[in-house]
Amino acid sequence: MSESKIPEGKKEIRCIVCPTGCLVHVENINGELVIEGHSCQRGEEYAKVEFIAPKRILTTTIRVENGFLPLIPVRSDTPIPKERLQDTLKEIAKIKVKAPIKMGDILIKQVIGLDVNIIASRDLIKA
């Protein structure tokens, strides 16, 4: 990563890679990332990514037309940059899908222009 992409400052990050839950300290010192407090390589990588460019799997619901239920749970198939989550939620709120739906169906392709699809988290039959 280039120095311009590493944010300034320091941050404490709770690692969620394993049940240990290390408290990892990450700091940018003169363009070099200093990571301390991790007990494994995966924790170091998690903290690095979380400090530089945090991403999240988005879970929410989409309205359903003619469905047994009025909403279907959905999630992103890959993580979304944290700063784009609100834009993604606004776009999803505009959508209404038709039943029947199978778990894993892509309900929105490349949401907000990202290489991320919104997929169904369960089956839903017609009413």
Residue 108 lies in domain:
59-120
**39 and 79 assigned to the same domain:** no
User: How many domains does the structure of the chain reveal?
Assistant: 2
Cis peptide leading into 100, omega within 30 of 0?
A: yes
**49 and 74 assigned to the same domain:** no
Beta strands 59-65 and 96-98, pairing class: parallel
Alpha-helical regions (H) of the chain: 41-52, 85-93
Beta strands 118-120 and 71-76, pairing class: antiparallel
pLDDT grade for 5, boundaries at 50, 70 and 90? confident
Q: Is residue 127 part of a domain?
A: no
Taking a C-beta distance cutoff of 8 angstroms, is the pair 102, 123 a contact?
yes
Tell me the whole-structure pTM to 2 decimals: 0.84
**E strand residue ranges, the chain:** 10-14, 23-29, 32-36, 55-56, 59-65, 71-76, 80-81, 96-98, 106-108, 118-120
Where residue 92 sits, what CATH number does that domain have?
A: 3.10.530.10
Q: Is residue 76 part of a domain?
A: yes
**35 and 9 assigned to the same domain:** yes
Q: Where among 12, 29, 53 does a domain terminate? A: 53
**115 and 83 assigned to the same domain:** yes
pLDDT tens for 27-55 read 999 989 999 999 999 999 999 999 999 99
Residue 18 has pLDDT above 80, yes or no: yes
Q: Is residue 102 part of a domain?
A: yes
Q: Where among 53, 69, 90 does a domain terminate? A: 53
From first CA to last CA, the distance across the chain in angstroms is 51
